[in-house]
Amino acid sequence: MYETILYEVSEGVAVITMNRPEKFNAFTEQMNKEITAALKQAQKSPEVRCILFTGAGRAFNAGQDLGDVSGGNVDFGGFLRKRYNPMILQFQKTEKPIVAAINGVAAGAGLSVALACDIRLASEKASLVNAFVNIGLVPDSGGCYFLPRIVGIGKALELAMTGEKISAEEALRIGLINQVYPAESFQDDAMAYARKLASLPTRGIGLIKRTMYKGLEMGLEETLEYEAFAQDAAGSTEDHKEGVTAFMEKRAPRFTGQ
């Protein structure tokens, strides 16, 4: 069904693998569209309770395929509005946890996409580079939105203005990623992390995601109001009842995602 990505579901986890390894999984228009479609598919599938987003081969993603835009006369604004912006918005609209498994280098829009995921795990061999400035461009695909919110404006400006590549270890130190794992066990470790998330209260997690991202844009009063609204929804789920019942019965909860 897809040509530039792989989509597989196992044990509640939809694994989306960007699959142009010979080009370091660089984005084409088709890949932008297929990622958007795959996220919508995962959102609609009741059996999917977590999404793991990764790259085939040595790289996570090297950003836009520069071979497609090297001839000049690019309508950059139109290009982003049509291809990248809908894809990035879909990461936010998907009310299930999205984990980036950064298996190798993440550059340019490839880094921006990792930033649009909710959790970032990296192989010790991964590296991250805000490559836009190296070709005279501005971080796009949400790079100017997520990066300062994740690492703070000082670090964000440094990474964006210098275009320097940083190691997974340094990315962990500055809070850009959540965990680093050995290269040999990375795929298994990332899958185990995703499976754990898939076993948790999926609707509650979707509401956490929506409410936290909304909170970034709102004042305290509005956020308190939205929390009350979200809690009404979370409080009516089966998983909330199960969590309280399991606590009272002193046993582990069995969440179903409902």
Nearest to 53 by CA among 85, 8, 86, 3: 8
Contact positions with ligand T3D (CB under 6 A) in 65-124: 65-67, 69, 74, 76, 79, 105, 107-109
Report the interhelical angle of 143-151 vs 109-116 (nearest 10°): 60
Cα–Cα distance, 31 to 29 (Å, whole number): 5
CB of 60 to ligand T3D, least distance (A): 9
Work out how close the CB of 106 gets to ligand T3D at its nearest, in angstroms, rounded to a whole number: 8
Least CB distance from residue 192 to ligand T3D, whole Å?
27
Shortest CB 33 distance to ligand T3D, Å? 15
Site for ligand T3D, residues 44 to 73, rule: CB under 6 A: 62-67, 69
Give the residue from 45, 20, 23 showing the smallest Cα distance to 31.
20
Nearer to ligand T3D, 74 or 224 (CB): 74
The stretch among 113-121, 128-136, 146-154, 246-254 that binds ligand T3D (CB under 6 A) is 128-136
What does the alpha-carbon distance between residue 1 and residue 170 come to, in Å, rounded to a whole number?
38
List residues bridging with 228 in a β-sheet.
Answer: none
Please give the radius of gyration of the chain, using alpha carbons only, rounded to the nearest integer.
19
- CA atoms within a 13 Å half-sphere pointing along the CA-CB vector of 189: 18
Q: Which is nearer to ligand T3D, 115 or 197 (CB)?
A: 115
Q: Which of residues 135-174 bind ligand T3D (CB under 6 A)?
A: 135, 137, 140
**Helices within the chain (DSSP H only):** 29-44, 76-79, 85-93, 109-116, 143-151, 153-162, 168-173, 186-198, 202-215, 220-235, 238-248
Residue 100 DSSP label: E
Among 60, 132, 146, 255, which residue sits at the site for ligand T3D (rule: CB under 6 A)? 132
Region 4-43 residues binding ligand T3D, contact defined as CB under 6 A:
23-24, 26
Identify the three-state secondary structure at position 29: helix
When the beta carbons of 42 and 129 are compared against ligand T3D, the nearer one is: 129
CB closer to ligand T3D out of 130 and 237 = 130
Chain residues binding ligand T3D by CB under 6 A are 23-24, 26, 62-67, 69, 74, 76, 79, 105, 107-109, 129, 131-132, 134-135, 137, 140
